[in-house]
Amino acid sequence: MPSGEFLAWVAEVDSQIVATSGLVFFQRPPYNGNLSGLEAYLMNVYTIPMWRGQGIATALLKEIINFVRAT
């Protein structure tokens, strides 16, 4: 996979990865709603069961959305 097409985010607690998510960029033909044609697809978000329900996946998602908006 070419560099920059897949990016991963991880959440760590005490140097242990407790959640992860990924983002894939891909190119489509331009259209009125997206003149550049560059799109992103959020891959699976996974949190270790004992860490679920604490907002970690939500925090990862917010970080990814902020990154995409800034790109």
The string of pLDDT tens digits covering residues 9-26 is 999 999 999 999 999 988
Number of domains forming the structure of the chain: 1
Q: What is the extent of the structural domain holding 15? A: 6-70
| Whether 27 contacts 18, CB under 8 Å | no
Q: What is the CATH number of the domain that holds 13?
A: 3.40.630.30
Of 12, 25, 23, 21, the closest CA to residue 58 belongs to 21
What's the CA gap between 62 and 56, in Å, rounded? 10
What pLDDT, on a 0 to 100 scale, did the predictor assign at position 71? Answer: 77
The stretches in the chain having pLDDT less than 70 are 1-2, 4
Residue 24 lies in a domain: yes
In a domain, 66, yes or no: yes
